[in-house]
Amino acid sequence: MNDKIALVTGASRGLGAAFAEALTPEFHVVAVARTTGALEELDDRIQAKGGSATLAPMDVTNVDAMAQLCRSIHDRWGKIDLWVHAAIHAAPLTPAGHIDPKDWDKSVAANVTATGKLIPFLAPLLGDTGQAVFFDDPRGGAKFFGSYGATKAAQIALARSWQAETERTGPRVSILAPREMPTGTRARFFPGQNKDTLASPRDEAARLMAELSL
């Protein structure tokens, strides 16, 4: 097993899955997502590339489960070298005056609260030499994107604060800007969009990884 450990939250599909694949075999990947079947399919692809993964089928909003996972990572490896945070809740588009309370609560829990809980859990594991990666999506303030845009903007604001605080001490915090991709999240926002005009998650993962100097 590789000595370098990468934790990917939101690893079952889209850019998270593409990153998990791209990191192997240089990293052993700890893959977190809610969908067990999709994680098993990811594991098959990682093994086909000569890599290895630890599957963690859990919801990032389950604080107790994530705390236990971080404890298990500490007990087994003592650290992580990279955290890629791709977990997101994409609430349906709706006018701000018609936001469903359940969709709002899910958006806050997944996009903001989970991030705020995970950073203190993972900062000690990353130490001063690790790296955390977030993905920006500047839709805050766009019409009909109230739930998603506001909570994604809050997530990135939190990441930028952490980035500024650790600039000299580490860990390194990177905030990347993916191109538009044919992901499940985007399909919820733009059903029927011509996918031929979009970048593939695999190509985006390769492009963005080149910015990280891993």
Q: Strand 82-85 to strand 5-9: parallel, antiparallel, or no bridges (unpaired)?
A: parallel
Reported as a single tens digit per residue, the pLDDT across 103-149 is: 999 999 999 999 999 999 999 999 999 999 999 998 888 999 999 99
Q: Which amino acid is at 103?
A: D
Q: How many CB atoms lie within 10 A of CB 58?
A: 17
Task: With cut-offs at 50, 70 and 90, classify the pLDDT of residue 1.
Answer: low
DSSP 145: B
In the predicted model, is pLDDT for residue 170 greater than 60? yes
pTM over the 0.75 mark: yes
pLDDT at 140: 86
**Which stretches of the chain are assigned E, i.e. beta strand?**
5-9, 28-33, 53-57, 82-85, 131-135, 172-176
Name 190's bridge partners. none
Task: With cut-offs at 50, 70 and 90, classify the pLDDT of residue 191.
Answer: confident
- Judge contact between 181 and 175, C-beta under 8 A: no
* 15: enclosing H helix or E strand: helix 14-23
pLDDT at 2: 65
69/197: higher pLDDT = 69
> Strand, helix or coil at 131?
strand
Q: How far apart are CA 210 and CA 31, in angstroms?
A: 21
Q: Mean pLDDT throughout 186-214?
A: 87
pLDDT at 213: 74
What structural domains and CATH numbers belong to the chain? 5-208 (3.40.50.720)
Q: Mean pLDDT throughout 181-198?
A: 82
Reported as a single tens digit per residue, the pLDDT across 11-65 is: 999 999 999 999 999 999 999 999 999 999 999 999 999 999 999 999 999 999 9
Instruction: For residue 118, give the nearest of 133, 128, 107, 104 by alpha carbon.
Output: 133
Reported as a single tens digit per residue, the pLDDT across 93-104 is: 999 999 999 999
Instruction: For residue 74, give the nearest of 30, 124, 26 by alpha carbon.
Output: 124
* 195: CB partners within 8 A, 6+ apart: 182
Q: Which amino acid is at 196?
A: D
